[in-house]
């Protein structure tokens, strides 16, 4: 799941768009004025869904790397 920050060149509205994968041209539509004259400001975050981690801590359970 990716979150994109977008800005409408028509009305100046700034908004976020949540998409699975990459941002496509069909995703670029202002929710205020429905204009497609929208530009990406920057990609604010990226996350991977479906994985659940509970208990334990990073590096526990053996099988780590050995340096030396």
Tell me the pLDDT of the chain averaged across its residues: 77
* Average pLDDT over every residue of 25-52: 79
CATH number of 2-46: 2.20.28
Contact 53, 61 (CB under 8 A): no
pTM of the model: 0.58
pLDDT of residue 21: 86
Alpha helices in the chain (DSSP H): none
pLDDT for 40-51, tens place per residue?
997 555 555 555
Between 22 and 36, where is the model more confident? Answer: 36
29 token code pair:
């539509």
């Amino acid at each position: 799941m990716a979150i994109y920050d977008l800005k409408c060149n028509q009305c100046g509205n700034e908004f976020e768009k949540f998409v699975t994968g990459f941002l496509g041209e069909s995703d670029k539509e202002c929710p205020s004025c429905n204009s497609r004259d929208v530009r990406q400001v920057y990609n604010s975050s990226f996350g991977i869904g479906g994985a659940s981690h509970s208990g334990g801590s990073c590096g526990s359970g053996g099988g780590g790397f050995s340096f030396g």
